[in-house]
Amino acid sequence: MTIPRRSWRAAGTLAAAAVVGLTGAVLTAGPAAAHTPTWAVTCTEVSLHLTAYNDDVTNQVTVTVDGKDLLPTESFGKGLDKTIALPDHDKALTVRLIVKAGDGDQYSKDDTKTAPVCEGHTSTPTPTPSETKPSETPTTATPTPTVKPSESASSSAPAAATPSPSSPDLAETGSSSATPIIGGAAAAVLLAGGGIMWSVRKRRTAQH
């Protein structure tokens, strides 16, 4: 049985098309199966397991917690395995993973997970600081200065009175220049009296 050449040509065309299609499917499935960003979040840590990335380009990964960097932007190649401890917390945290593939944004990843509070850790409310009023400063009364007695005699003290020349003479006390004269007169009077008494007695004696 002879197969026409036309039939061979048709079969060859179909086979070539099938090979091309299969090759395209394999090439398409390859990148789709690559770039595997696996990560997990617990109450204490964040685990990163990034695999099958293109090692010929620069890939980057960033992890934030409540908007703050937990893992600042870090470059990696074919893959990255890392475990990062979470800070102590008494409320749930929002953890965000950002992976930027160097060979296309279609292989990048932006995902968010929640880190719960660990069991046995109770939330402690933050006490509100009370307003402290400044204590009133007691007013200290200023003591009235005590008037000190003058240490020296006042210059306005009255001076000793000086007797005026026109004042009457005061009575003399004690001895004076007239005392001997008075004494002599008294002695003369006594002598005279004694003489008179002696004369009287003598006359009386002569009469008898």
pLDDT along the chain (208 residues), means of 10: 54 51 44 78 96 94 96 94 95 96 93 94 58 58 56 48 51 56 78 80 74
DSSP-assigned letters across all residues of the chain: -PPPHHHHHHHHHHHHHHHHHHHHHHHHHHHHH--EEEEEE-SSEEEEEEES--TTS-EEEEEEETTEEEEEEEEESS-EEEEEEPPP-SS-EEEEEEEE-TT-GGG-EEEEEEEPPPTT-PPPPPPPPPPPPPPPPPPPPPPPPPPPPPSS--TTSPPPPPPPTTSPPPPP-S--TTHHHHHHHHHHHHHHHHHHHHHHHHHHHHH-
Q: How far apart are CA 27 and CA 35, in angstroms?
A: 14
Residue 134 is predicted with a pLDDT of 57
Q: How far apart are CA 167 and CA 106, in angstroms?
A: 141
Residue 148 is predicted with a pLDDT of 56
Tokens 């006359």 identify what position?
A: 203
Residue 206 is predicted with a pLDDT of 75
